[in-house]
Structure 1
């Protein structure tokens, strides 16, 4: 059995990447002190939705990513965070950066939030590749926010061997949105028969149709049972992933 200490740093970001990096770095330090070796930050950690995404977008060797890379290297942890990088068509990519000792990966959000009156695709170009990577013998898959509504992505990550799926999000408030978040995080863990660590932005008052956050970050086990869940405010969630459970569930219920 392999155990991995993981954490969701539920923060609230604004339009300033410099200020957001300072918040992110402090949150990474606090979760590392709590013993986590894999630390998730939300989608849009670089800058909140509603910001000028084209203006703030940076390449993966830009100052924001480099700042996260440095704190991850200094503390010996793996950090996963949402940022925006320039796309070739004038839009941006909604990208997850993964960085830490021996680990460097990125995932571009595939399913864009063209729903509930929002049009993410007006500013964001979609990705088209699933991404997994390995940390301390654990295969980890990636998804972002609205991807939660697409079960096939999580089944595919499970078939690719992911025993943990990390889902940074900026899940906007709205009628029944909290219930949908709770339902979908549990369902997608069950679809993948994997642990699922979902890290949302802390609750932020809605601004028009831009998705911001409701909090409720969670660690879900491969049977779809919550092992930990935060409230609405900024907070840290730390828990343990045990791969033996994913192996056992897949053996008993071989849906993959």
Structure 2
């Protein structure tokens, strides 16, 4: 299966973000003919404060209901149907009562929702420059792992900060994952030192393809500008980066090769060795 990771420079204008996503997905499909396209984390909103995030939030229809969703939900569903592809929705802001959720939804080529995942690990840190990030002030944490099948491949779902918790990737591997998504808004300061190193490590440890669409550029927050790193990439189960975006908006495409996965897992059966030592993660 060919997969494309879309790199966006979204802001607080939801309509503009939707238009940008549509344009980039359609360009990637026309140029590279992928079977699956992946968007970044919270591609419907980045910045603008609490009010902008609340305005961008959507109530998701019950799983399997076929009911109509919000603007972003229906855009992804429509793109999947129009192009006959799977659309991995990075993540959007889900309205969930007292808290919002940072939520992935995935659509098959018929426009059916086939997976949903709420981000488990919330980004409550202080950056190297002293900037504080408190995702838990607005968002609730998810509680369940999720996988889905597309094109003969089982995909696992994670979001951004999840990548720092290797046990989540081991758990997804145990659930049958052969490739794992990591849509992100990775800060520039942490990204330049940790982004590729962490993604390659997760690929090597889990022996899975890593599919990481990311946001790039600057956005406004609390009267100032913040920067996100970009460098969307696909890494193979040996940890090689096989496709990567440079600076700017765009996309990168790679083919997920089952033979590579099978060879890596056969020659270095780390999951079996971990079981033999009775380590439970």
Question: What TM-score comes out, normalization by structure 2 length?
Answer: 0.85
2:23 aligned with 1:26, yes or no? yes
- Residue in 1 aligned with 2:230? 215
Instruction: Indicate how the Cα distance of structure 1 residues 241 and 120 shifts in structure 2: closer, same or farther if over 3 A, else same.
Output: same
SS in 1 for 2:117: strand
2:101 aligned with 1:87, yes or no? no
- Residue in 2 aligned with 1:166? 181
Q: Distance in 2 between matches of 1:50 and 1:151?
A: 32
Matches within 5 A, 1:147-186: 147-174=162-189, 176-186=190-200
SS in 1 for 2:256: strand
Unaligned runs of 5+ in 2: 61-68, 127-131, 272-281
How far has the Cα of 1:211 moved from its partner? 6.8
Correspondence for 2:12 among 10, 15, 22: 15
2:257 aligned with 1:242, yes or no? yes
Report the structure number with the largest CA radius of gyration: 2
Q: Distance in 2 between matches of 1:100 and 1:17?
A: 24
SS in 1 for 2:253: strand
Correspondence for 1:194 among 208, 219, 222: 208
2:102 aligned with 1:97, yes or no? no
Correspondence for 1:119 among 98, 114, 134: 134
Q: Distance in 2 between matches of 1:178 and 1:142?
A: 23
How far has the Cα of 1:55 moved from its partner? 2.5
Instruction: Indicate how the Cα distance of structure 1 residues 26 and 15 shifts in structure 2: closer, same or farther if over 3 A, else same.
Output: same
Unaligned runs of 5+ in 1: none
1:111-155 superposed Cα distances (whole Å, 9 cap, x missing partner): 000012210000010101111000011101111110110000111
Is the contact between residue 212 and residue 232 of structure 2 (CA under 8 Å) also seen in structure 1? yes
Is the contact between residue 10 and residue 235 of structure 1 (CA under 8 Å) also seen in structure 2? yes
1:19-73 superposed Cα distances (whole Å, 9 cap, x missing partner): 1111111111111111111111100111114443223210231121111111111
Q: Distance in 1 between matches of 2:105 and 2:226?
A: 20
Q: Distance in 2 between matches of 1:49 and 1:186?
A: 28
Question: What TM-score comes out, normalization by structure 1 length?
Answer: 0.92
Instruction: Indicate how the Cα distance of structure 1 residues 53 and 210 shifts in structure 2: closer, same or farther if over 3 A, else same.
Output: farther
- Residue in 2 aligned with 1:39? 37
